[in-house]
Structure formats: structure tokens, C-alpha cells
Chains A and B, each alone.
Chain A
Amino acid sequence: MLRIEQLHASVAGKEILKGINLTIGAGEVHAIMGPNGSGKSTLSNVIAGRDGYEVTAGSVTYHGKDLLAMKPEERAWEGVFLAFQYPVEIPGVNNTYMLKAGVNAKRKHQGEQELDAMDFMQLVKAKAKLVELDQSFLSRGVNEGFSGGEKKRNEIFQMAVLEPSLALLDETDSGLDIDALRIVAQGVNALRNAERSIVMVTHYQRLLDYIEPDFVHVLADGQILKSGDKHLALELEERGYDWVKVEAEQAAA
């Protein structure tokens, strides 16, 4: 379970997150929506441990451990996974090799035996099927020359292989064509289970038709202004964000 309390974070001296409170239980699916620039990716990056963000106040604990004190790789070993909004290309680094190194580092951390090449290939092939990723992508450089949609699909493929307990999907639906969206959503649904928590950042209600969230939050100007169930997303689709802000202001006044 992930617990975020009064989280403040700034980038280059500018405060972006202004007191986030959010609790995500095991097996829950949360959707985070909100205007451009409101801090959604910043929140995901802070949870995953990217450099360049200064946490000025608050805490993030995961399974009772202080996540903010860990290096990014340690967070990955603890089960945190970030599907990037803009996955970076890494020419020359083989997709499968990277995943094998990642999976085995995690297994080692958890005191499990490392997978050998054969077992690993089996795992990878099965997971590629799950998101209908062509096998040829396995041996290519990480995201090297992938189209926008292919990169997003590769992120979910990696999630399937790494089997995180907390998956942060930052706009994974953006850039996917209609069929790809369905396939990726089915993949994510197949990965839903009682232990795995999923946080989806999205701008579109459509994704939530496929992957039904337990909770929907509105993040605006660095704060979670409103939370609700899946119906909130429909309301946002219809009315936009302004009314949420107005409501929040009135409540504060």
C-alpha cells in the first residue's frame, strides 16, 4: 500500500506539488486526471525517484518503508514501476537484455534465484503475446526507432515482464490507435490482481471505459482537488475542470 502525505516538491526552485495526499491500497486502480502542467508527471517521477525534483516536505511510504530514501533501482526492486509519458530511446541497449538485468536484479534483491536465459525467454515471449507485441521488438534497442504507439505498448510489455506491485502509467493511452488502446487495456486488465495497485494518469475517459478505476482524482495546480469514483471521470469529460477549481476555492473560503 502506498501512502503519500502532504507531499511538496519543486523543480528548479519552482514549487510544483503543493501538498498531495493520496492513499492507494493493494489491488486498487486509481485514475489521476487534471489539466496540462498540473503536476501529474511530476508526481509519478517523484514516486519513481527521478533526479532533479526536490521534495521540500511530506512523505511517501510504500509497504511501510520510506520510498523517498531509496534509489530508483531500489524502488524498482520493491515493486514500483513507471510507464513513462515519453519513453526515452536507448540505441544499442537490447530491450530483452535490459529486462533480463532488471528482472534478475529484483529477484536477487528478493532472495529468489535468478532466471536463466531459457526461462527468461519463455517469460518474455508469453508477455509479448499478452500485449500483442511483435517478437521482432524484443531484440531491438530499447525504444530505438519505435513509433509513438509502439513505445507505449513496449512500456506495458515491460510492466508485464517486471510484474510490479505498484504500476504508475503516465498517459499510456496517449498516442495509441483505437485497436492498440484496446489491446493495451486488455493487457493491463489481465495484470490486475489483488496485490497489484495501478495508478493511471490520463486525459481521456475512453481509457476508463476499458480499465475501470476504483477511484478518480483531479490533480490541479499541484493539489488533489477532488476525488470520486468512475462517475467523476464522466462528469469531467462533460464539464471540464473549471467547476472543480471553483468548488475547491469555495470550500477553502
Chain B
Amino acid sequence: MSDMALNTAALPGDAGVQTLRAQAAEVFARTGLPGRRDEDWKYTDISRISATLGEAWWSPTPSELSETDFSGIEGLDAYRIVFVGGEFLPEQSDIPEGVTLQSLSALLADDADERSHCLFRLDESAPLFNGFLAANSALASDGLCACIGANVKLDKPLYMVHIGNSTSHILNGLMLGQGAEATLIEHFVGGDSNSAGLNNIATYLRLADNAGLTHYRLQMEGTKQFHIGRVEVKQAGNSRYTLHAVELGASLSRADIVVNLAETGASCDLNGLFVASGRQHIDHHTRIDHNAPYCRSRESYRTVLDGRAHAVFNGKIVVAEGAVKTDSAQSNGNLLLSRNAEIDTKPELEIYNDDVKCAHGVTVGQLDEDQLFYLKSRGLSEEEARQLLTFAFADEVLVGMDSKLIRRFIEQAAFSKLPNMSDLEGFLE
């Protein structure tokens, strides 16, 4: 990657945004992309991206798909917010009333109060900051910008679907006012298409006092696609954030989940499921900062890896000096179905006061022989027994989903991709 000059000239935004874009391009040219010498990227080699997409791998490309190529989550009643090839499609979308919600493209076209500026402003000192985020800020032209007012409880989820296999830079910002409640579903779909691109997504979430957000992040990109994501959450007093991150697709997918428990009593739950096979590479780096007293964090990640799949999980928790009565627990379970599958998992705790409760546990293993024998002794075939145990292992993180429809959808999608997991009829009762 020799020439790292991003061309931000023809992109939308007022003079202020243009300045911020230019600054981001500078940061990008200076810092470049993370390499294997960076501790946070030690196990994820991104040279695949430029090797596949070429020198100017960041240049947006159109999608070969259209919204009709994807039927959505069956039975889901939600506000649809549709993007194809990184572009918002208003005719296909259904925007809720009573909330401030528009696409970034629409906002940039008419940004009288400069609301978009905060989304483009980069903070190089932010945890897990990297060149992709700089590229996003320099090049993003669409996304979702929404403010959900104080005490508004959205009646239906916001369902943001990205139909792709293209290269795009998406920038989202969602703010929840005091006591507001909402569900956000980010769904990335690609299908079996042979084309490849890079989806580079940044999502900024802000929760005011007592706000509650449930966030589904469903990565089901096409098999050749690259996916780089960042979710940055800032939580005020007693707010609640729940993430269900599901990673099924893409050739290489990396997500940085950065949560700042900024005020007293905030809590977050991060749940993750990776199901990968072939040569897929999936990496989540999560970072939770306990910056205030009486905050609670829970983290539960599970991976099921087959073939030569490689997964990386890094769960870093930093408890600040003043963050007394911190209550934090993290668990990461990994099931390796093949000898060639690989997991690199690492919990990291940095604790700067004594008044904390932090638990963490990691397991890496194969299916349990005693359990297999038990099932077979009851008449289940070897294959059936293996399927059932694999399913049960993964499902443990999905039971936390409050939407049965999404859970069912993910179960189907996840297990139909593993060999011999097609007959799910009985499992899903």
C-alpha cells in the first residue's frame, strides 16, 4: 500500500465537514493501516484486503445486488432502513414518526446546525483507534443519524439492512435521550456473490441517563467480502446497553467494540457468537472502560470453528481509579470442530482500584466425549449427537436475545452453514 492519499474532493458535506475529511485523510496518510506489529492486530493479517481489492482498496464500488435479492428476517415487524452498496434508499425505507431520523446523505445535503460534524471528528487517542476509522471519516457519504428524544420508547426496532458485496464507508450515529428505549438491528448481507469489497462501518451510540438500547449486529456478508466495523458506545448514568454480535459471513471480519461506562450505574452486556468455517477469519476486540462507580459489565462470547477458520477474541476491561463497586464478568467459550481451526483468545484486565469484582474465564475445546456417548447410548447417531452438542453450545449465547424471530433466523443461518447441520427441524422447538 504505497500511495495512501485519499481523495475526499467530490464528497458531500459543508465546509466544516470538508475540513474534517481532509484532516482524517491526513491522519490516514500518516498512520497508515495497522500491521502485525501492532499488538491489537497481531493475529489479523489485513494484507488480504489490498491483495484482493488492489491498491486503492478503499474506493467505493457499486453493488451488484438489489434490495429484492434479500427477503429480510421473516416475520420481523420493524422500521426498515435500507442501504444498497452503501447508499440509503428512501423509497425502500420506512422511517418512524416522532423521532429525528435521517440518512447521513440527507443530513449532509442540508446540515444547518452542523449536527454531522461530531460524527466526522476523529479522536486518535480513542481505544483501538486505527487507520480504517480515519478512512471512514474521510470517505463516508452515507449512514444513519438519529436522535430518540427523552422518554420515547420506540414501538418497533430500527432495522438497518446493508445489502452489499461492495466497498463502502458507512457512518452511523444514534443518540438516545434520557429514559429513551430502542432496539437497533444492523444487518449486513451479501449472499453467495463472487464479488468482493470492503464494508467499513463506524457506529457511534450515545445513551443519556436511564436510556436503554438493545443492539443486534448481524454480520452475514458474502463469502468473499471484507468487513471492518467499529461500535463506540458512551453511556450516561444508569443507562443499559445490550449487544448481540453475530459473525457468520465474510472472508475477513474485524470489529472493535468500545464501550465507555462513563457515569454511575451504567451497565452493558456484550454477547457474541462466531460460526466460521473454510478459511474465514473473524476478530473481535472489545474494550470496556469502567469510568464511574457502580457500573456493571457482562461479556459472553462463543465461537464454533470448523475447517481452517481462525478466530480472535480480545476482551479488555479497564477499571479506573474512581470506579468503585465495579461488577464485571467475562466468559469466552470456543469449540473447535476441526484440527485445523484456530482460536486466539485473551482476556485483559487493567484494574486501578481494590473495590471491584471481576471474573473471567476462557475455555477452548472439542465436543465432550462423555456427552457424546450419553447421547449415542440413547440411540442418537454419532452425527446427530455432534450436531446437537454443537448447537447447544452456540445456542447458549443466543438464548439471551429478546427477539425470538431473530434468534430463530440466526440459528437457521448459522447451522445450515456447518456441514451436516441442515436438519434443524427438531432442534428449534
A48 to B396 alpha-carbon distance, docked (Å)? 30
Task: Decide: B370 and A73 in contact? CB cutoff 8 A.
Answer: no
Instruction: Give the size of the chain A interface in residues (CB under 8 angstroms).
Output: 33
Task: Decide: B379 and A93 in contact? CB cutoff 8 A.
Answer: no
| B426 proximal to A (CB < 8 A) | yes
Task: Decide: A91 and B392 in contact? CB cutoff 8 A.
Answer: yes
Task: Decide: B374 and A76 in contact? CB cutoff 8 A.
Answer: no
Q: Which of chain A's residues has its CB closest to B383's CB?
A: A73
> Which residues of chain A in 119-163 are interfacial with respect to chain B, using CB atoms and an 8 Å cutoff?
141-142, 158, 162
Closest Cβ of chain A: how far from B257's Cβ, in Å?
A: 25
A113 to B280 alpha-carbon distance, docked (Å)? 42
| A84 proximal to B (CB < 8 A) | yes
Closest Cβ of chain B: how far from A110's Cβ, in Å?
A: 11
Contact with A along B66-86 (1 / 0, CB 8 A): 000000000000000000000
| A26 proximal to B (CB < 8 A) | no
> Which residues of chain B in 350-372 are interfacial with respect to chain A, using CB atoms and an 8 Å cutoff?
368-371
Q: Which of chain A's residues has its CB closest to B385's CB?
A: A73
Task: Decide: B380 and A98 in contact? CB cutoff 8 A.
Answer: yes
> Which residues of chain B in 322-378 are interfacial with respect to chain A, using CB atoms and an 8 Å cutoff?
368-371, 373-378
Contacts of B391 in A (CB 8 A): 92
A77 to B381 alpha-carbon distance, docked (Å)? 10
Contacts of A141 in B (CB 8 A): 392
> Which residues of chain A in 81-103 are interfacial with respect to chain B, using CB atoms and an 8 Å cutoff?
81-82, 84, 87-88, 90-94, 97-103
Interface size class of B (residues with CB under 8 A): 20 to 34
Q: Which of chain B's residues has its CB closest to A164's CB?
A: B379
Contact with B along A173-215 (1 / 0, CB 8 A): 0000000000000000000000000000000000000000000
Contacts of B3 in A (CB 8 A): none
A101 and B392 in contact (CB under 8 A), knowing A90-B375, A94-B429? no
| A105 proximal to B (CB < 8 A) | yes
Task: Decide: B395 and A92 in contact? CB cutoff 8 A.
Answer: yes
A73 and B379 in contact (CB under 8 A), knowing A84-B374, A90-B371, A90-B374? yes
Contacts of B382 in A (CB 8 A): 71, 73
Task: Decide: B373 and A72 in contact? CB cutoff 8 A.
Answer: yes
Task: Decide: A88 and B429 in contact? CB cutoff 8 A.
Answer: no
Most buried by A among B382, B393, B395, B426: B426
A76 and B379 in contact (CB under 8 A), knowing A91-B392, A93-B388, A105-B384? yes
Contacts of A73 in B (CB 8 A): 376-377, 379-382
A141 to B426 alpha-carbon distance, docked (Å)? 15
A76 to B378 alpha-carbon distance, docked (Å)? 6
Contacts of A34 in B (CB 8 A): none
A72 and B377 in contact (CB under 8 A), knowing A90-B371, A93-B389, A97-B427? yes
Most buried by B among A97, A98, A99: A98
| A106 proximal to B (CB < 8 A) | yes
| A49 proximal to B (CB < 8 A) | yes
A81 to B376 alpha-carbon distance, docked (Å)? 10
Task: Decide: B392 and A98 in contact? CB cutoff 8 A.
Answer: no
Contacts of A87 in B (CB 8 A): 374
A101 and B379 in contact (CB under 8 A), knowing A91-B392, A94-B429? yes
A81 to B377 alpha-carbon distance, docked (Å)? 7
A142 to B368 alpha-carbon distance, docked (Å)? 14
Contacts of A249 in B (CB 8 A): none
Closest Cβ of chain B: how far from A119's Cβ, in Å?
A: 15
| A51 proximal to B (CB < 8 A) | yes
Task: Decide: B379 and A92 in contact? CB cutoff 8 A.
Answer: no
Closest Cβ of chain A: how far from B271's Cβ, in Å?
A: 15
Task: Decide: A71 and B378 in contact? CB cutoff 8 A.
Answer: no
Contacts of A90 in B (CB 8 A): 371, 374-375, 389, 392
Contacts of A65 in B (CB 8 A): none
Q: Which of chain B's residues has its CB closest to A139's CB?
A: B429
Contacts of A77 in B (CB 8 A): 379
Task: Decide: A92 and B393 in contact? CB cutoff 8 A.
Answer: yes
Task: Decide: B369 and A51 in contact? CB cutoff 8 A.
Answer: yes
Task: Decide: B389 and A158 in contact? CB cutoff 8 A.
Answer: no
A93 to B385 alpha-carbon distance, docked (Å)? 10
| A50 proximal to B (CB < 8 A) | yes
Closest Cβ of chain B: how far from A102's Cβ, in Å?
A: 4
Task: Decide: B396 and A82 in contact? CB cutoff 8 A.
Answer: no
Contacts of B370 in A (CB 8 A): 88
Contacts of A91 in B (CB 8 A): 392, 396
Contacts of B426 in A (CB 8 A): 97, 100-101
Supply 17 A–B pairs (Cβ within 8 Å), ascending by A.
A48-B377, A50-B377, A73-B377, A88-B371, A90-B375, A91-B392, A92-B392, A92-B393, A92-B396, A93-B375, A98-B378, A98-B380, A101-B380, A102-B378, A105-B380, A106-B379, A158-B378
Residues of B participating in the A interface, judged by any CB pair closer than 8 Å? 368-371, 373-382, 384, 388-389, 391-393, 395-396, 426-427, 429
The 7 closest A-B CB pairs, nearest first, are A92-B392, A102-B379, A102-B378, A76-B379, A72-B376, A105-B379, A73-B376
